Structure 1
Amino acid sequence: MPSFDIVSEVDKQELKNAVDQANKEIANRFDFKGSDARIEQAEFVLTVFADDDFKLDQVQEVLNGKLVKRGIDIRALDIAEKTEKVSGNKVKRQVTVKNGIETELAKKIVKQIKDSKLKVTASIQGESVRVSGAKKDVLQEAIALLRKVITEAPLQFQNFRD
């Protein structure tokens, strides 16, 4: 029986490369000369540092641009609303990279598939959703449907088996 998995993953190496490129650009930009603007990475948690809120937003823009160029979807970022004060007048912001499908989104995906009346079954398997059906064409219709309907998180369709 043909099946595929729906996942939401971010390539760790591409993330590291994007952070390195962003830090390099920040170090070379004239408007950041003499400032303490930088991005630090710990696994899937990024911390953006800057001198003030305006520069913090500028650093975030540089990071977002580099992530998009490296093929990482910005929807995978969970950017903290509030900035934290650090020593002096410096500020920082936490950016968490979401990896895996959260339970709420997985339930929404399963519900969308059931409501579509396609002849497929969807089941939640940890941080992924497995969809299986009798024919390959029906599975491709399910992929097309989910690409159209689910917009809040980047989805990848992997492990397509015949």
Structure 2
Amino acid sequence: MPGEQQSVRALKSFVLPAIGGRRPWRPLTYDAARMMFNRANEVLGSNRTLHDPRHTATCLMSDDPTMPPVYVRHILGHKHLSTLDIYSNPSRDETIVAGLAQHERQRRQRERPPPLPPVPASAKDRRSPSATLPSSRAPIAPISSPVAETRRLRSTDAE
């Protein structure tokens, strides 16, 4: 486990002093984290910033289909959901695959539409309007307006 020991030594020398590895314990401030990144950049010969891990985490959350974008927006503290568009950079191949998958879903839905929802039990128990009429009367056609219904009721009361 030599690689693991080397990682622990690097952690102790760069990270722990910045986050309070020295006594007295103190919270990690922005300036302390920035200095930690600067020291690591000098050793590694890189040019990373403190914003890079935030950007990486945002890209990973945005690409996760189980993570709603509104939660990503809230975690980042952005005011508008449209701000997340800068983190969404699908490749040409990903866009083509997503488009083909959408067309396939639409084709399957056209071939096999979803089944109709079951009829509620209360609707099955309802009797038809003609079943409530006396047998001497013919069924009345459906009423098209409240005015016609009122006229029909008045003519029935007059009889």
TM-score of Structure 1 vs Structure 2, range by shorter chain: under 0.3
Task: Give 1 or 2 for the bigger CA radius of gyration.
Answer: 2
More helix by percentage: 2
> Normalised by the size of structure 2, how large is the TM-score?
0.21
TM-score, normalization: structure 1? 0.21
Could you say which structure has the higher strand fraction? 1
Q: Could you say which structure has the greater relative contact order, defined with CA pairs below 8 angstroms and 6 or more residues apart?
A: 1
